[in-house]
Structure 1
Amino acid sequence: MPAVDFADIQGLARFGHGRLRAAEFLLLEVAAPDAARAWLRSAPLTTAQLRETPPQTALQVALTADGLRALGITEATVSRFPQPFLAGMAGEASRSRRLGDVGDNDPLNWQWGRPAPHVLLMLYAAEGGLDALMAELRDTNFDTGFRVMRRLPTGIARGIEPFGFVDGVSEPVIDWDQTFTTDLHRRLGYANMLAPGELLLGYPNEYQETAPAVLAEAAPGQRATDLARNGSFLVLRQLHQDVRGFWQYLDRVAGADPAQRDRLASLMVGRHRDGRGLIPDHENIPGGRSGNNFTYSGDVDGNVCPVGAHIRRANPRTGDHPAGVSGRWSWLMSTLGFRRRRDGLAGRHDLVASSRFHRLVRRGREYGSRLSVDEALLPGPDEERGILFVCLCADIVRQFEFVQEAWLYSARFDGLGGERDPLTGARTPLPDGTMTDHYSAPRLTGLPERLEGLPQFVTVRGGAYFFMPGIRALQFIAGA
């Protein structure tokens, strides 16, 4: 297997830059291609190489398909990128329906993303250092080459999302040394480790396959440049969170009982606010960490962590086969769909695809002012606050779009009926008129606990698909 070339990879893929607590994202339009290319050639991009002294700033660049065209890449070359990237997040009505970008989330209501920007500039700095970094980067070429379409400031990174829950606990570990098996017949259980090819193009993925090259047109006698190698697709979505609406709804349902309110919130999220899972650590998960060493194999019906809880939808923690599969006969029976639970029913495992083929590497930041639970319970304006959701992946459809459509937005996830994600889901009815504004949590005895009249708590404000190229590929794009 090829060794990972960290010197040619933008640092966001490896580090996330969480140590640099201040960040701002700029959405740019290419106004003058020559000046824009000149600026990109000299831009001090942060690589994925380890440094003896961690940097105090970081700069990353990603481009849309229209951005590649605006910078002079030929249509023959651009067309070799995958179709979802070329179409864009808001480019097709069918894609919007699949992603749940309907109703209040419809791209027609977005603040940005129609049309998609050309360039995403991501700036990171130690607290208080962003203005100095921006002043250092802006020069004649920048001001001539780009027009700033929108600035997306973020809050100071604290690892807590706006609803008040510790975030990022279940981030996958990238197997940079490529020592953990991806063999389809040997790796049956759930692990929190991913092959580099799930994140970066040019390396084997969990299917032991490598994404095809994107070869740029070359002059006769010259070697073609692979624009894909060491790059990642980057998904950016601005998700507004109605923090007041979330806690005030739960307070009404809980009868103003703080303990009951927190319990219901944890059932919807799948974790306690401090990051502890509803299912305590009880397994030795490869690549796991404290608070994250569990699966749902002992809670298939969701009696502890509801099947529809947000974190269970985002990562169902399923292996290639249910727990307990060992030996060739057991493996064959499970593969053919003949394995049954002790009660004689088909296991829920058959309803959810193996997690490792659909994992995402998240690099998002919260934005807007912070609001405590006590503050959220008081009347006040619905200010702009939420998550600038960023994820990196090698396959937009198999990873981001699958998770969004089949797990988060689906009203029939894992056998449920008429329920979407309780946090992020749209509440639009199904085509047959079935309402989706409810949420159920099973009980060991009696009827499930059911929340009715669930408002929509998260609204999409904008989004786009970008490609974050490797350093050499970006230099080629910039005309070096």
Structure 2
Amino acid sequence: MNQVDYADVQGLLRFGYKHMTQARYALLRIKNAAAARAWLRTAPVSNAMLMNPPPTTALQVAFTAPGLRALGVAESVIAGFSHAFRGGMTQENRARELGDVADNAPEYWHWGGPANEVHLVVMFFADPQAFDAFVQASTGDVWNEAFAEAQWLHTENLDGVEPFGFADGISQPQLDWESQQQAAHIRYDYSNVVALGEFLLGYCNEYGKLTDRPLLDPDAANTDLLPALDAPAKKDLGRNGTYLVMRQLEQDVRAFWQFVHRQAGGNEAEAQMLAAAMVGRTRAGDALVPVQQQPIPGTGTNPEQIRQNQFTFDHDPSGARCPFGAHVRRANPRNTDFPGRPTSLLKKLITVLGFGPQGFRDDLMSSVRFHRILRRGREYGCELKPEDALAPAPPDDPRRGLHFICLNANIARQFEFIQNAWMASSKFSGLTGETDPLLGNHQPVPGCPVTSVFTVQRDNALRQRVTGLPQFVMVRGGAYFFLPSLRALRYIARAGDQ
């Protein structure tokens, strides 16, 4: 029942296409629905099946809610998608919760805002020698008739290093493709293995439930769709699909390195230490806390993975090694269902019943297993080394940043929770007056007029309190997309032709 049909899943979820170092994203508006459906019917969309040798090209397609409407998908069908997806990233209350206010507000975005809405994104991946020919072959007369190109987002292969100069893409959840992990059980130890239903619709999530998705009454138009596991009389439009969150994050590399050097009084070693404290890792990607002897399930077995990922923050309760507000600690606190990870049966029983000693931070963070995301983003702009970033910017200094992409089955509980409760919150882990040092907009919020602080905790010494953090990352665009299965894509491609 839970066996995955990889031929029905778009490959981005399983592979990420990291070995295809060239990528470009076409943000499109539909100008001719019939032509758009014709292009979609013949588009060479890549699936998640293993191939030997691996392919040299891949194409993926995802739609916004307005895009589905523009293609002719019925409103009754769209109503089955999640509220967050239907409402969109730019809804006023949602933008406020995500921190997209002031200079980050959607009205200033290059794409995705109220004045420049997009309907779909077509993602091209390829080896360098095959890329141009692949894009040219995939576009053409039908493409030009079907779509108005809102923007092409180019990427840069920085060889695993993000624009600030730190190793990136290190920590990712391992998907339980075989559904071997017991669902809805209590976890006393941190694990990197996450239920498939957290990322793929139509499968059990960490609660042992199926995430809500569009379920249709069977008819001639949806005969190719799979029956729903929880409602066999219905056809499941969401099965083997997922939601794709996309945000263009422009990074001010010069401002970041110039700021940490000023704080360090020009001392290079101290500047590197402060930068690492803000990120939560060294530039090489090493954790700021010691790796542990006991393997963490789903983390990996090779020495590099152990060096960078075999750790939790259990042995850094005071934040003296990795500050509580560090970006990496906010993004993944590596906690479990219960604080302290009780080991004996008696301690587990006491914890479950709600008794026993509790620290003031114990109830401030939800268990991470309910809030993991699968990142698939790529950098853009040319490399600027930290030592070169200390020089004033030339007039033609190119833009740099990250085309952030993540996949999740529940936008509100996964991406939005992380962004709002962990990144943008000034009350994370008992802190006050500070948001994420990298992604925070540092704007005042109700009850907290100052959020531009970063605290470096220390054992047996006064903490270092860094004030006046500027905004290092600006949001330049964003949208919520549905990445359908191949069966659902066929349904969408003929929806308006019924």
Smaller-chain TM-score bracket: over 0.9
Q: 2:377 aligns with which of 322, 339, 364?
A: 364
Would the alpha carbon gap of residues 467 and 401 (structure 1) be closer, same or farther in structure 2, given more than 3 Å must change? same
Give yes or no for contact 1:319–1:354 (8 Å, CA) kept in 2.
yes
> 1:241 matched to which residue of 2?
251
Q: Take 1:73 and 1:225, find their aligned partners in 2: how far apart are those partners?
A: 15
Which of 262, 270, 295 aligns to 1:284? It is 295
Q: In structure 2, do the counterparts of structure 1 residues 34 and 217 end up closer, same or farther at CA, with 3 Å as the change threshold?
A: farther
SS of 1:144's partner is: helix
The CA deviation at 1:280 is 2.4
Query: Does the 8 Å CA contact 1:269/1:423 hold for their aligned counterparts?
Result: yes
* Equivalent residue number for residue 24 of structure 1: 24
Contact 2:222 2:491 in 1 (8 A): no
Match of 2:435 among 402, 411, 420: 420
**Matched AA of 1:96:** A
Structure 2 residue 279 is the aligned partner of structure 1 residue 262: no
- CA deviation after TM superposition for structure 1 residue 217, in Å: 5.9
SS of match in other structure, 1:14? coil
How far did 1:256 drift?
Answer: 1.2
Summarize deviations over 1:366-411 as a string: whole Å, max 9, x none.
0011100111011114531100000000000000000000001100
1:2 aligns with 2:2: yes
Could you tell me how far 1:204 is from its partner in structure 2? 0.7
CA-based RMSD of the aligned residues comes to 1.7
Change (3 A) 1:51 1:410: same
Q: How far apart are the structure 1 equivalents of 2:235 and 2:147?
A: 25
Q: Which moved more, 1:457-466 or 1:348-357?
A: 348-357
Worse-superposed segment, 381-390 or 6-15: 381-390
Q: Distance in 2 between matches of 1:212 and 1:454?
A: 40
The amino acid of 1:366's aligned partner reads E
> Normalising by the residue count of structure 1, what TM-score does the alignment of the two structures yield?
0.95
Report the alpha carbon displacement of residue 222 of structure 1 after superposing the two structures with TM.
7.4
Rounded to whole Å, the distance in 2 between the matches of 1:433 and 1:232 is 36
The answer as to whether partners of 2:326 and 2:436 remain within 8 angstroms in 1 is yes
Deviation at 1:178, TM superposition (A): 1.6
Query: Structure 1's 15 and 427: CA in aligned 2 closer, same or farther, altered over 3 A?
Result: same
1:322: Cα distance to partner?
Answer: 2.6
For 1:332 and 1:106, the matched residues in 2 are separated by: 48
What CA distance in whole angstroms lies between the structure 2 residues aligned with 1:66 and 1:218? 24
Structure 1 residue aligned with 2:173: 172
Matches of 2:311 and 2:408, distance apart in 1: 24
Residue 354 of structure 1 pairs with residue 367 of structure 2: yes
- Residue in structure 1 matched with residue 241 of structure 2 by the alignment: 231
Q: Which runs of 5+ in 1 are unaligned?
A: none
Aligned residues of 2:338 and 2:351 also touching (Cα < 8 A): yes
Q: Deviations over 1:62-101 (max 9, x none)?
A: 00001111111011111111111001000x2111111000
- 5 Å-filtered alignment, 1:288-367, equals 288=299, 289-290=305-306, 291-340=308-357, 346=359, 348-367=361-380
Query: Hey, what's the Cα distance between the residues in 1 that align with 2:432 and 2:274?
Result: 20
How far does residue 479 in structure 1 lie from its aligned partner after superposition?
1.0
- SS where residue 375 of structure 1 aligns? coil
- Contact preservation (8 Å) 1:61, 1:120: yes
User: Partners of 2:94 and 2:149 in 1: how far apart?
Assistant: 27
Q: 1:379 aligns with which of 392, 395, 398?
A: 392
Read off the aligned partner of 2:467 and give its amino acid letter: E
1:105 maps to which residue?
Answer: 104
- Give the total of aligned pairs: 474
Tell me whether 129-138 or 364-373 shows the greater mean CA deviation: 129-138
So what's the TM-score if we normalise by structure 2?
0.92
Q: 1:253 and 2:254 equivalent?
A: no
Q: Contact 1:225/1:473 (CA < 8 Å) preserved in 2?
A: no
Task: Give the deviation of 1:179 after TM superposition.
Answer: 1.4
Report the counterpart of residue 302 of structure 2 in structure 1. Answer: none
Paired with 1:208 and 1:432, the residues of 2 have a C-alpha distance of: 37
Give, in whole Å, the separation in 2 of the partners of 1:469 and 1:113. 20
Where in structure 2 are the equivalents of 1:40-189 lying within 5 Å? 40-90=40-90, 92-115=91-114, 116-185=117-186, 187-189=187-189
The aligned counterpart of 2:196 is 196
Taking the aligned partners of 2:375 and 2:401, their CA distance within structure 1 comes to 15
Aligned residue identity for 2:109: W
Q: 1:105 to 1:222 in 2, by over 3 A?
A: closer
Rounded to whole Å, the distance in 1 between the matches of 2:484 and 2:244 is: 10
Measured in 2, the distance between the counterparts of 1:89 and 1:339 equals: 41
CA contact (8 A) 2:183 2:204 kept: no
Equivalent residue letter for 1:234: L
Percent identity between matched residues is 47
Distance 2:222 2:136 in 1: 39
Contact 2:79–2:214 (Cα < 8 Å) also in 1:
no
Q: Any stretches of 5+ residues in structure 2 without a counterpart?
A: 224-233, 300-304
**Closer, same or farther: CA 3–433 of 1 in aligned 2, 3 Å:** closer
Partners of 1:76 and 1:217 within 8 A in 2: no
- AA at the equivalent of 1:16: G
Q: 1:88 to 1:298 in 2, by over 3 A?
A: same
Contact 2:158 2:383 in 1 (8 A): no
Whether the 8 Å contact between 1:64 and 1:467 is mirrored in structure 2 is yes
